[in-house]
Amino acid sequence: MDVKTRLYELYDIIEKHNYNYYVLDDPTIEDDEYDKLMREVKAIEAEHPELVTEFSPTRRVGGVALSTFEKVTHTVQMGSLQDVFSEDELYSFDSTIRKELEPVYSVEPKIDGLSVSLEYRDGVLVRGSTRGDGFVGEDITENLRTIKSIPLRISEKLSLLEVRGEVYMPRESFARLVAEQEENGEQPAKNPRNAAAGSLRQKDSSVTSKRSLGIFIFNVQQVEGRTFTSHSESLDWLAEQGFPVVAHKVCDTIDKAVRRIREIGDEKHGYAYDTDGAVIKVDDLSQRDILGATAKVPKWAVAFKYPPEEKETVLREIEVNVGRTGALTPVAVFDPILLAGTTVSRASLHNQDIVDRLGVAVGDTIAVRKAGEIIPEVVRVAKHCGAETYRLPDKCPVCGHSVERGGDEAAVRCVNPNCPAQLLRGIEHFASRDAMNIEGLGEAVVKQLVESGLVSSPADLYLLNLQDVMCLQGFKEKSAGNLLKAIENSKQVQPDRLLYALGIRGIGRRSAELLLRKFGDIDGVMTASYEDILSIDSFGEILAHSVSDAFADPQMRELVEKLRVNGLKFDYDKAASGDKLAGLTFVITGTLPTLKRDQAKELIEGNGGKCAGSVSKKTNYVVAGEEAGSKLTKAQELGVTVITESQLLDMINGVAE
């Protein structure tokens, strides 16, 4: 079997496993076997990039960030439905139709997500777009490719197929996202629908790929080369083509349709996704043509909306949790209630702004519901007890240090870098790959070091000895020696990484490098004024305050001094950067052998080059790695020079070709 045949065979095998796992929820292969197949695909594609196609499973990981989304004009309008809120309205809908026809209905759950269009040409996915205003949407093809339940190609190679579906965020994924946002002191997503919409509009599709989105297809918008007589027939055919199709049931009377809508209402709490209603549609497509539409909605379908489930209870206490970034999160503790099938007694109030908006006080009777049917939230005060609205404390409840609210942030934070509530996560960040890159210093090891009293700040890592580490669970002499060696090696990293490792809010690798290029060393950054920091291009008021305030804190200055004494590198080697790529525009595509995408971008920009998100005639070089796709093809079409990571490094290091 030749390489090309094997590669495309692997494509088919992997997509079949994706279908079994993500659509049928019936995996037929172990994870390590699946990973082995993916590694084989990546190896072949790296050696033969000319064979990579649009339907490669490696295209699902996301790519270079876009600067904007292109507009898409919909050939077939992506309309909306008329909402109804009672069974009487359903019977009225049926009576109107029966004046002309004898309908059969298709009844489906109404998925609470973001409506999108998928277009296939000759069986291959070529474009995906948002609904927009129904007439014009946005091209989000690369983001939609990351959803593994969407087939990148189908078996029946019709010249054109456009389908409509609803992208959603599963409740479990939503719960994880909100927990992460709470930890970071960020404004949490309000519900799974908003979270799904925000994920699909990420400029960097690699972010979308981490959000575990799903999709249900619920309509054929247009098709060439095949005809259907009924809606249910078209959905059954789509399922045969590998699409995740919305659950649907054909009902030959309105009584049966209403009964099915009631059943969906009873079942919806057990779904893995949000359902805010049910849709009833005339199934016969010729009858739909007869019924037609108004200027806004079709006459052959309506959406039944279920009333939101809310229950009242008494707020007994407000606890305050402190996250890894120091953010104080108020948590409502109330009398237990049964909500959406489970008993709940706690709900996050997120931040002081939300507390103020609700006007909530301990002793109030509050109304609670579940966002995404999974996360309890306080939606209003049903009865005030007369007490004043709750205020977050002005001291950290864990360490007693003062708290601050900076700029336009919603979060109130403990500004003590040595706060025990922040210590664990702070040390993990310090040791992370993009910071000091201390291999082997993960969450479990950090927790042992802190709980044993061996480490109370990042500086203490450099005081550890062999006996200290061997006292930890799972460490013997060799593994302990390896960890100590990794800690010692970290002393040689450039100080921009150290500056990033300190965990100053808003300071990433790129902004840390800009600070060092401006002020020369960490001492220069520490003594820089707010005005001097603000003068750096791309630094705004919030970021400038964040840096100046961080180094004004005595505990931060003490930490930095300990790191100096322990031998870490403070002087920035400007020779590591320069203008060797000045005037050149690069596009990065695929997975590079050693550099992450943001690292390669920082390296290019640090040497005077510019990074773009798409290939054009103005592009000088495309840096291609594994999984390079359409950008590589575009470069070849335009005659743009394609280089490897190694060649990029040679350009920076002055090695002649």
Cα–Cα distance for residue pair 148/21, rounded to 1 Å: 9
Contact call for residues 131 and 137 (beta carbons, < 8 A): yes
Task: List residues bridging with 282 in a β-sheet.
Answer: 105
Place of tokens 């996360």: 375
Give the Cα separation of 458 and 460 in Å (integer). 5
Q: Which amino acid is at 129?
A: S
Whether residue 10 contacts residue 37, with contact meaning beta carbons closer than 8 Å, is answered with yes
In the residue annotation, 110 being an active-site residue is answered as yes
- The phi and psi torsions of 523 (rounded to 5 degrees) equal -60, -40
- Residues 167, 117 contacting (CB under 8 angstroms): no
Q: What angle do CA 382, 385, 390 make, to 5 degrees?
A: 90
C-alpha dihedral over 244, 248, 250, 253, to 10 degrees? Answer: -160
Q: Report the alpha-carbon angle 565-570-571, nearest 5.
A: 140
Within 13 Å and on the Cβ side, how many CA atoms surround 577? 22
User: H/E element holding 381?
Assistant: strand 375-383
Conformational region of residue 627, where left means phi above 0, alpha means psi within -120 to 50, and beta covers everything else: left
Residues 530, 510 contacting (CB under 8 angstroms): no
List the one residue out of 514, 498, 507, 521 whose CA is nearest residue 438. Answer: 498
User: Looking at this protein, which amino acid is placed at residue 513?
Assistant: E
Partners of 344 in the β-ladder: 337
- In terms of C-beta density within 10 A (0-12 exposed, 13-18 middle, 19 or more buried), how is residue 537 classed? exposed
H helix runs in 160-223, sequence order: 171-183, 192-200, 205-208
Please give the Cα distance from 558 to 105 (Å, whole number): 72
HEC-encoded secondary structure of 47-80: HCHHHCCCCCHHHHHCCCCCCCCCEEECCCCCCC
Of 4, 99, 110, 281, the catalytic one is: 110
C-alpha pair distances (Å), 539 with each of 9, 104, 158, 203: 50, 62, 52, 21
Q: Output the furthest CA–CA distance in the chain (Å, rounded).
A: 88
| Class of residue 158 by CB neighbours under 10 A (exposed 0-12, middle 13-18, buried 19+) | middle
What's the chain's Rg over C-alpha atoms?
29
Distances (CA, A) of 68 to 95, 203, 546: 47, 7, 29
Q: Give me the DSSP letters along 412-470.
A: -EE--TT-HHHHHHHHHHHHSTTTT--TT--HHHHHHHHHTTS-SSGGGGGG--HHHHH
Closest Cα to residue 247, out of 229, 266, 260?
260
- Residue 72's DSSP bridge partners are 137
Would you name the residues annotated as active-site residues? 110
